[in-house]
Structure 1
Amino acid sequence: MIYAVGDIHGYADQLDRALALIEADGGPDAEIVFLGDFVDRGPDSKGVLDRLVRGQAESRNWRFVLGNHDRMFLRFVTEGQQHDDRIKSGLSWMNPRLGGTTTLRSYGVGGPDSPAFQPPRGKVVETLVSWWTNQGNLSDQEVIIAAREAVPDAHLNFLATLPLWHETDDLLFVHAGIRPGIPLEEQEEDDLIWIRDGWLEDDRDHGKLVVHGHTALDTPEHHGNRVNLDGGAGYGNRLVPAAFDAGEVFTLWPEGRRPLVPA
């Protein structure tokens, strides 16, 4: 038996609640796979990473995969990158819609106001100009420097070493999904953490049941060949963990298990 937790998006209280449900069902040593997107949008990304990093250091039976928001956060702090080519809107990671500002606030960087952006001439992407913070009105480079000083190395090392997938004999855990028809070893990182088009509508057998997040729903769904566990916690919904037990799938609730069957 193995458990999985979808996109947490900075909601440390929801993570604690999900872990309590898993422990009540499977005990303190339950094997858990976390499907990425640990940060952004919610108020306590630091608290989420503190909990996950501590669990890893304690040698808990936990597995993790990289999410697109985790990579954006990591690249911003370590490389100063504000953009990802897969964001067709051109929004900066610092745009409140993507949640970078709430992540930095959880580390004590920033203030209540939104940053100021300016789209560069001839480009569609937006760029941070300044942000009025508790440390004064900071330029984009000053925000990056402040983030590097605030984010612990343990958090950055954790994110930098996350794998892109985890698999068992009959399950494949990945953040966003896979490019159908391509061997796992030949999959592109961008697809594994970003894919929607060409994946969500594909109903073929992928050899293993694919368990993923990334595409927010109101509640987890089973589609026969894949299970989407992103129940929209990043938008205020409840984080619902799932149990995979002898070929069956169950979501976990305070009153116990509920079968999750193909729609």
Structure 2
Amino acid sequence: MKPIYAIGDVHGQFDMLCRALEWIEADGGPDARVVFLGDLVDRGPDSFGVIELLVRGLAEGRDWIALTGNHDRMFRRFLEDGTRHDARILSGKGWLHPALGGPMTLASYGVDVAEDRPEDALLAEARARVPETHKQFLATRKLLHREPGLIFVHAGLRPGVPLDRQDEDDLVWIRDAFLEETRPFEALVVHGHTAIKAATHYGNRVNLDTGAGYGRPLSVGVFEGEATYTLTELGRAVLG
């Protein structure tokens, strides 16, 4: 069976992403199937470069599946209608707060993100500077991807709810109810969203978000038959 690769939350870390794709090509060749688990943008220095790489790769016919994360959705919604806030952010911070990373994303597109800029001017410049190909990319990402024995999603699943009835907000935002579930899901769930120190296999799920948005390493998972591995420049290591 051909291996499937998954990359955790990239968060604008273009250089890390390039290295991860080099590891994947060395392990599985140029035609490897790669699932990107969302949160491609924010916090890191080059969200533009990350999106541009994916847009170009998909246009070239790469076997890539890029899912949407909560940060990608916030970026898209800001461009669409100026939305800065998401009800699932309990702190009340908006996307343009540095902790969320929106200013870093806009700056990577050359947008002036001075704090005292009028909202309408900021939005107008953002809309002008983000290429239409990037807007289309953000608007057409899947929330979930299935492979035999595997479910790929950004944040997780609501336990007890069938896949076709999962709520979009849960798929990109859920934490406690999903993370605390110990019973098996319909298949092994591969996700990101909740940053941890190292990629971890919990039996019913695999978390690949290891905090690249905070400068920590970007994790790659490999799924081949019943086996699960992590992948680095040194090759594969068994996970779980």
Normalised TM-score (structure 1): 0.89
1:235 aligns with 2:214: yes
Task: Report SS of the residue matched to 1:10.
Answer: coil
The equivalences for 1:89-108 within 5 A come to 89-108=91-110
Displaced runs of 4 or more, over 6 A: none
TM-aligned CA deviation for residue 194 of structure 1: 0.1
Counterpart of 2:90 in structure 1 is 88
Structure with max Cα Rg: 1
Among all aligned residue pairs of Structure 1 and Structure 2, give the percentage whose two residues are the same amino acid.
Answer: 55
Partner AA of 2:187 in structure 1: K
1:13 aligns with 2:15: yes
Say which structure, 1 or 2, has more relative contact order (CA 8 Å, 6+ apart).
Answer: 2
Q: Which has the higher helix share?
A: 2
Which stretches in structure 2 are left out of the alignment for 5+ residues? Answer: none
User: Which of 139, 144, 157 does residue 136 from structure 2 map onto?
Assistant: 157
TM-aligned CA deviation for residue 255 of structure 1: 1.4
The equivalences for 1:73-152 within 5 A come to 73-110=75-112, 115=115, 130=116, 138-152=117-131
Cα-to-partner distance string for 1:220-256 (whole Å, 9 max, x where unaligned):
1110000000011011011121110111111111111
User: Which of 22, 26, 29 does residue 27 from structure 1 map onto?
Assistant: 29
Task: Report SS of the residue matched to 1:199.
Answer: helix
Report how many aligned residue pairs link the two structures.
238
The equivalences for 1:238-249 within 5 A come to 238-249=217-228
The equivalences for 1:166-245 within 5 A come to 166-245=145-224
Partner AA of 1:191 in structure 2: D
Task: Report SS of the residue matched to 2:179.
Answer: coil
1:53 aligns with 2:32: no
Counterpart of 1:123 in structure 2 is none
Calculate the aligned-residue CA RMSD, in Å.
0.8
Which stretches in structure 1 are left out of the alignment for 5+ residues? Answer: 116-129, 131-137
CA distance in 1, matches of 2:165, 2:93: 29
Cα-to-partner distance string for 1:36-65 (whole Å, 9 max, x where unaligned):
000000000000000001111111011111
